[in-house]
């Protein structure tokens, strides 16, 4: 299984002061040096974290692959067609949400999704659809021409350690099997952390996991000691 690292939170921290620190480019470089096989960024319509300039720079500096998360928005599609990331992941987007809530409703807007991704596919960009582990959504996704689905692992992650975990895990396992039987490749992500990620090994042939929040959260603590010590040494 491959690891895609989502670096949106680094941009959120940077934007808190409006400057250039911490650098998302440097974050991507460190992630790549430590095993990330792709870097994911979500260019949201409200540009609340990743900005246009970030993706224009990342596409030139990445050693691995850029996976661009995006909603069905014409201006973002235009940018994707210009920079041609290795892959895009189509997600639903609501302005007020804190993070992506729920999967894309492919079944309910099959023609719209199929039409939207066509120019991206025609330009050689791999397309992944971020969907809930739901039979109807998987079947609809297989009709769009997309090569991948990314299974939304949020509900499984929230259920981890509760009596609902087995059912949620089974939903993921069954959806992955159905997708693979229909010729789709399967990624997964959202809410995965250092505990619940281990069960992803029980799902055969998952290609890549996209993980952001837990990695950046852990990085704060694994890096905080050094950061304080270096500043302390400089001023004492």
Give the containing element (helix H, strand E) for 215: helix 213-235
Taking Cα atoms as reference points, which of 196, 52, 59, 191 lies closest to residue 130? 191
Kindly state the DSSP code that residue 201 receives in the 8-state scheme.
Answer: G
For ligand PXP, the closer CB: 162 or 230: 162
Would you list the DSSP string of 165-189? HHHHHHHHHHHHHHHHHTT-EEEEE
The token pair at 12 is: 């959120």
Taking Cα atoms as reference points, which of 47, 48, 49, 28 lies closest to residue 39? 28
Give the active site residue among 42, 93, 152, 208: 42
Task: Report the residue from 189, 197, 203, 206 that binds ligand PXP according to the rule CB under 6 A.
Answer: 189
Residues in 28-47 at the binding interface with ligand PXP, rule: CB under 6 A = 42
Whether 201 is catalytic: no
Residues in 45-104 at the binding interface with ligand PXP, rule: CB under 6 A = 69, 89, 91, 99-100
Whether 190 is catalytic: yes
- Whole-angstrom Cα distance, residue 173 to residue 181? 12
Residues in 196-225 at the binding interface with ligand PXP, rule: CB under 6 A = 210-214
172 binds ligand PXP (CB under 6 A): no
Give the active site residue among 32, 93, 190, 208: 190
How many residues belong to the site for ligand PXP (CB under 6 A)?
Answer: 19
Helix (H, G, I), strand (E, B) or coil at 50: coil
Q: Residues interacting with ligand PXP, by CB under 6 A?
A: 6, 8, 42, 69, 89, 91, 99-100, 130, 150, 189-192, 210-214
Residues with a catalytic annotation lie at 42, 69, 190
């Amino acid at each position: 299984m491959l690891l895609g690292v989502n670096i949106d939170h680094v941009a959120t921290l940077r934007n808190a002061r409006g400057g250039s620190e911490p650098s998302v480019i440097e974050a991507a470089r460190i992630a790549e040096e430590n095993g990330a096989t792709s870097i994911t960024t979500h260019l949201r319509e409200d540009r609340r974290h990743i900005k246009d300039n970030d993706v224009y720079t990342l596409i030139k500096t990445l050693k691995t692959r850029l996976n661009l998360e995006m909603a069905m928005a014409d201006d973002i599609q235009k940018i994707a067609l210009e920079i041609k990331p290795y892959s895009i992941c189509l997600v639903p987007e609501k302005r007020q949400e804190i993070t992506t809530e729920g999967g894309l409703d492919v079944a309910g807007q099959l023609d719209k999704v199929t039409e939207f991704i066509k120019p991206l596919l025609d330009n050689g960009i791999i397309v992944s659809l971020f969907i809930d582990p739901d039979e109807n959504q998987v079947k609809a996704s297989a009709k769009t021409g997309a090569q991948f689905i990314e299974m939304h692992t949020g509900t499984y992650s929230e259920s981890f350690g509760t009596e609902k975990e087995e059912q949620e895990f089974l939903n993921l396992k069954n959806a992955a099997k159905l997708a693979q039987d229909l010729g789709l490749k399967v990624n997964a992500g959202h809410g995965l952390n250092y505990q619940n990620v281990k069960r992803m090994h029980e799902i055969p042939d998952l290609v890549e996991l996209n993980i952001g929040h837990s990695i950046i959260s852990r990085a704060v603590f694994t890096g905080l000691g050094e950061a304080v010590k270096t500043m302390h040494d400089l001023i004492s």
